[in-house]
Amino acid sequence: MLNQTIEKIRTLDQEAMGAAKDRQNNLTKPAGSLGRLEKVSIQLAGILRDPMPKINDKVVIIMAGDHGIVTAGVSAYPQEVTSQMVLNFIHGGAAINALAGHIKARILVVDMGIAFEFEPHPGLVSNKIAKGTQNMLEGPAMTLEQAEAAVMVGIEVVNAEIEKGLDIVGTGDMGIGNTTPSAAIAAVLTGESPAKIAGRGTGVDDEGFVRKISAIETAIRVNKPDPKDGLDILAKVGGFEIGGLTGVILGAAAHNKAVMLDGFVSTAAAMIAVSIAPEVRQYLISAHRSQEYGHQLMLDWLELDPLVDLHLRLGEGTGAALGISIAEAACKVLSEMTTFAEAGVSEKEE
């Protein structure tokens, strides 16, 4: 199924993009005056294969998992906060609930590997690979089979949402300690040192920050992930929720759906997805630049320009929700504005 998904990922529809660009250039405004909104609408035309793209069905998928690396003191919060925040999501009390409600998007929360057993709840999908990853200081975070399983879960989850009508998916995450594997993934793929990539995550103090950088360096040295093999990187220094988001991204691209990336963790998943299937890059929109130190280096590697910089560093898909709002606005500008000819407005003289 993974290979079948990868084989379905095509280049964007150039004809639809050309038509969208022509319309943008003839709307009642100076050409290019709406900046990124114009570029996003053209990209969405190519992704959705429609010269007048519309975003009606919006979903934020939050993948959640725990990490063995937390025992190394890389996070300011204890591991049980992962499960506590997931309960907050499904009961509607988190930032992502407020922002998803604001843009009228559905939220889907997926347990990819939390060290806690939840009671069944309609707002939670259980696809637990294991109760957290292994401590990657001592060996691979997961087996290659578990990495593949995590990606496959993500594909299956997004496929089910696509069957319901999804137009755009926002990526969200929850997992105490997960900026550490995310930084490790980015360090391996960019070739930059962990000290240039790692940030303070949930707010570790100076001593915790030093431990975090040291842990990333050790995990890479111990596991020797192959920078040319995305699944190998995911297995050795990744996380179950990162694998799930990788699958969401691949599955969305395979069905010509747009992917709005949140911050640091989502971008790490996007890097894995692009390393597996380079065509995926065209389907990605970066919602924002995170405050995490190395996020810009990750965006540079992906060749993405974030829509906004609001100093966010929460995760959960909060930035992605805001980005979806901008994408929807871009589509409405393209379809609801009139052209000079339609409005009877004189165009600029040559």
Paired tokens of 184 = 């490790």
| Cβ pair 329, 37 in contact under 8 A | yes
Distance CA 61, CA 260 (A): 11
pLDDT at 344: 87
Please count the CA atoms within 13 angstroms of the CA of 11 that sit on its side-chain side: 3
Cα torsion at 34, 41, 62, 129 (round to 10°)?
-140
Q: Strands 258-261 and 284-286: what pairing?
A: parallel
CA distance 113 to 69: 14
- 136: helix, coil or strand? coil
From CA 316, how far away is CA 265, in angstroms rounded?
A: 10
Q: Which tokens is 83 given?
A: 């499960």
Give the model's pLDDT for residue 347.
78
Q: Judge if pTM exceeds 0.75.
A: yes
- Phi, psi angles (nearest 5°) of residue 169: -120, 135
Please report, for residues 6, 70, 239, the alpha-carbon distance to residue 265 in angstroms, rounded to integers and kept in the order given.
22, 16, 10
- Residue 349, pLDDT score: 66
The residue ranges of the chain whose pLDDT is under 50 are none
Q: Domains in the chain and their CATH numbers?
A: 2-53+334-343 (1.10.1610.10), 58-327 (3.40.50.10210)
Q: Cβ(177)–Cβ(75) under 8 Å?
A: yes
**Chain-centre distance for alpha carbon 97:** 17
Q: How many residues does the chain have?
A: 350
Q: How many degrees, rounded to 5, is the angle at CA 229 between CA 226 and CA 233?
A: 65
pLDDT at 12: 98
Reading the block at residue 96, the tokens are 């992502």
**Residue 65 phi/psi, 5° resolution?**
-165, 160
Q: Which tokens go with 113? A: 């590997």
Phi (first) and psi of residue 105, to 5 degrees: -110, 150
> What tens digit of pLDDT does each residue of 205-255 get?
999 899 999 999 999 999 999 999 999 999 999 999 999 999 999 999 999
Give the residue carrying structure tokens 């995490």.
292
**Confidence (pLDDT) at 178:** 97
Judge contact between 299 and 273, C-beta under 8 A. no
| Beta pairing partners, 326 | none
Which residues are marked as active site? 316
Helix (H) / strand (E) containing 254: helix 240-254
Furthest CA-CA distance within the chain: 70
Question: Could you give the CA distance from residue 96 to residue 227 in angstroms, rounded to a whole number?
Answer: 33
